Amino acid sequence: MKKAMVIGSLGFIGFSLSKRLLEEEFEVIGIDHFSEKHDQLKEQKLLEIARNSNLIYINNPVENLILKEVAESCDVLYYCLHDSDINKNNINKKMTKMKDILTKVMDYCNEIMCKFVYLSSYESLNQRNPIGQMKMEEEYEIKNYSKLNKNFFFHIVQLPTVYGPWQPDSMTFQQLIMGKDSPSIDPIREDAIFVEDLVEILLELPADLDVNKIIKINSNRKNQWQEGVNLIKGTSNPKQESSELEVKNAKDQEVYHRHLQTTLEEGIRRQKEHYKYLQKLKGLGLI
């Protein structure tokens, strides 16, 4: 049986990935951390997959773990951690902690020759905010580590806005679905992809022998983020922003758009239905 470790397994993308890996009969070691008193949504996610016998869930920050004791062997490790609480005042402290955690995880992958898949974002392309600065630095650390350690094999996956069920409340699509008239604006507006389409790409990467590369996920469709906003709002003839937001592909990037088949209409419909489902659970006092 193939074995995958997902760090950040109850996050937005990490949860959808973990769920799909279990469907593909992987043994999944999910690492995340939450307090039931403070994160009922993560608790609900865990309830949805905990009954699967192939899941080993560890409720502990990765920095507190000895990964070799968690799993002596592993085929692929997905690094799905995302810290949204980064700003110009705390970035140096966050950067130091990040490097310690990242090095610990890479050392583990190098020791057991486990493929490392790191989820980055378009924010790293021009360091447009502190999160982008952090992502760019993490990408640099990964590439530099691979030059010094010949048993370390990675894929860096740069993502646009990802939407779908469980999208965080901090993101534009979800805020509009929740009925907010003046939502906060996503930092990435070049493109938008459905989370389950992304997961299908991530499932392919362990078998990809062309390693140590950067993969940029692109829907290959124009104006997807703006069109998604307009679709949720029910507006037409929008003022398009894509020409100002296009990102040119770097020479060392491979652009992926395989499996990105879900239409905006279908993806947003499913996100809306999921939000209604969560509201029903809240109404029943279950979350």
| Residue-range domain boundaries for the chain | 165-287
Mean pLDDT by 10 residues, the chain (287 residues): 95 97 97 80 91 95 95 96 84 88 97 96 85 92 96 96 96 96 94 96 91 93 95 73 51 70 96 96 84
Encode 125-177 in three state secondary structure. Answer: HHCCCHHHHHHHHHHHHHHHHHHHCCCCCEEEEEECEEECCCCCCCCHHHHHH
Angle, alpha carbons 51-57-60 (nearest 5°): 150
Please say whether the beta carbons of 55 and 71 come within 8 A: no
In this prediction, residue 242 carries a pLDDT of: 45
**What are phi and psi for residue 221, nearest 5 degrees?**
-130, 150
Please say whether the beta carbons of 60 and 33 come within 8 A: yes
In this prediction, residue 243 carries a pLDDT of: 39
**Cα separation, 165 vs 273, whole angstroms:** 8
pTM: 0.92
DSSP 64: G
In this prediction, residue 257 carries a pLDDT of: 72
In this prediction, residue 248 carries a pLDDT of: 57
**Cα separation, 220 vs 7, whole angstroms:** 29
CB atoms within 10 A of CB 44: 16
Please say whether the beta carbons of 247 and 122 come within 8 A: yes
